Chain A
Amino acid sequence: MPGHSGINLRFIILIGILVILIIAMFLTSEERTGLSKIEVFFRDLIAPVQSWVNKVCDSVVDAFSFIGNIRNLSRENRVLKNQVEELTYLNNSLNEAKAENERLRRLLEVSRMIPYDKVVAEVIARSPDNWYSNIVINKGYDDGIRKDMAVITHAGLVGKISEVTKRTATVLLLTDPRSAVGGLNQRTRDIVLVEGSAELKNHLLLKPLDDMPELHKGDVVISSGLGGIFPKGLVIGKIVVVEKGDFGMTTTAVVEPAVDFGKLEYVMVIRETVRDDQGVMIIMSEDDGANTDTNTGLDAGVVNTNAVNSTNSVNATDAFNTDVLNANVSFGGGSR
């Protein structure tokens, strides 16, 4: 009967498509070297609209939060004034530390200052589902972005570039369950693995590689540079919970990331990295050669700390320089 054969044909087509989809899943579930042309086309097509809608949403949220905050403004003003005083003091001591760092560096003759190349990008979208932790940024292949480049903010490590189109790129955040980064306990220099987790919202899971790790609440975890993707010495986060497994044989910890992944607006992509003698990726500050006025970077850093959600990318860059420099003071210097 024609009716029956029609239904059968449809059923076979349906099963065929479902099987093809499972094969497609299998083929695309691993990390891919590049995106297909269709994916690149589609994402570049929707990127401008995503960017625009995000801007509109941001301004609406800003407007509402401004109205909601008017009452708190005077209190906040008082707190901020105190903070300015504290930060001015901090600024001075940082200047001292910076100068000291300069001297030590010259003494040790390790200041092979190779400027690295970075680009500031705006976050234009996030993963449309609840399972992955991705962001989409408005810089892509045309801006020199390539797969596996490290992405950071002034606060620390954000993630790595997982996919690139002509004008956008997808960043796999540290919190994504597919993400794993080689880390270093800053205090003990123990090498650890920091993984994203679907269960811990906005927190990371730390797995030590040592049998008897010495982990304490409050320990700062930095990137080890050993994975070959992330430069050494970037802040990943702070240990907030240490958990002993059954029989005390295993220890894991929960790390609170230094970066607030919920509020990412601007990020920086490191387009170039430098390796040391042992092949470990390190970050070099370009501050030394280019910036003779030592106050500029630090001032910008302080201003930027006050205006937390600064949208000025120039400020963000300056603040970043300062932070990397500080990171070198505390991490790079002490590591060897």
Chain B
Amino acid sequence: MNWKRILILAAIIILVIILQSTLLNYIGIWGSKPDLLLIFVIAIGLTRGVQDSVIFGFAAGLLEDIAAGGMIGETAFVKMLIGLLVGLFEQRLFKENFIVPACMIFFGSLVQGLLTFFFINSFQVRLDFLSALLHKIIPAALYTSLVSAAIYPLAVRIYAKIYSEHIYSRIYRAR
């Protein structure tokens, strides 16, 4: 257990949640804003492997649930699952160019959107699938993968710094 690292990662999650609920409202397009936290989950999955990405996804999702004021557990479930999927694929992917992470983020965002739709639909209110897909899920996925061009390399660098004391770290460098 590296407590310093855990604290820094927790601080990153909280900071991103704060930005997500304030700053990102100003750059929303047609009511959709990018999900920075998802980019951080996928980045940790692609650079650090499955265990870290599952724990990080769970913690990030749970704190987001607590801050958001919806169901507790929904984002935690979705982000943990995405952390798991990305972490499992990690070793089979060629990650040295930007296209792979961007595609992962696009599909990760799609999966997140579909699962969120499913949970809200089954536990809270009925929503129309087609319009949710066209107005929320796809725009958010496109926007998130677009923004990841700037945020993903940043996330990778931050993780590289945090994990730098490891000799055998499998760090993927942005450049």
Binding site for B on A (CB under 8 A): 14, 17-18, 20-29, 38-39, 42-43, 46, 49-50, 53-54, 57, 61, 124-132, 134, 136, 162-163, 170, 177-178, 198-199, 201-202
CB proximity to A under 8 Å, residues B66-101: 66-77, 80-81, 84
Most-contacted residue by chain A among B30, B69, B84, B127 (CB, 10 A): B69
A-contact bits for B23-34, CB 8 A (1 contact / 0 none): 111100011110
- Chain A residue numbers with a CB within 8 Å of B140 are 130
- Whether B68 pairs with A177 at a CB distance below 8 angstroms is no
- Chain B residue numbers with a CB within 8 Å of A199 are 127-128, 131-132, 135
- Chain A residue numbers with a CB within 8 Å of B75 are 129
Tell me the nearest residue of chain B to A19, going by C-beta: B77
Binding site for A on B (CB under 8 A): 14, 17-26, 30-33, 35, 54, 58, 63-64, 66-77, 80-81, 84, 116, 119-120, 123-125, 127-128, 131-132, 135-136, 140
- Chain B residue numbers with a CB within 8 Å of A162 are 69
**In the complex where A57-B22, A177-B125 touch, is A25 in contact with B74 (Cβ < 8 A)?**
yes
- Chain B residue numbers with a CB within 8 Å of A170 are 69
A17, A27, A46: the one contacting B80 at CB < 8 Å is A17
- Whether B66 pairs with A43 at a CB distance below 8 angstroms is yes
- Whether B74 pairs with A18 at a CB distance below 8 angstroms is no
- How many angstroms between the C-alpha atoms of A27 and B81 in the bound complex? 20
**Minimum Cβ distance to chain B for residue A95 (Å):** 39
**In the complex where A129-B64, A131-B120, A163-B69 touch, is A14 in contact with B22 (Cβ < 8 A)?**
no
- Chain A residue numbers with a CB within 8 Å of B84 are 14
- Whether A17 pairs with B58 at a CB distance below 8 angstroms is yes
- Whether B127 pairs with A198 at a CB distance below 8 angstroms is yes
Most-contacted residue by chain A among B21, B132, B136 (CB, 10 A): B21
Q: Which 9 A-B pairs have the closest CB atoms?
A: A24-B73, A29-B123, A199-B131, A21-B73, A128-B20, A125-B21, A21-B77, A128-B21, A28-B72
- Chain A residue numbers with a CB within 8 Å of B136 are 130-131, 198
- Whether A43 pairs with B67 at a CB distance below 8 angstroms is yes
- Whether A25 pairs with B69 at a CB distance below 8 angstroms is no
- Chain A residue numbers with a CB within 8 Å of B22 are 50, 53-54, 57, 124-126
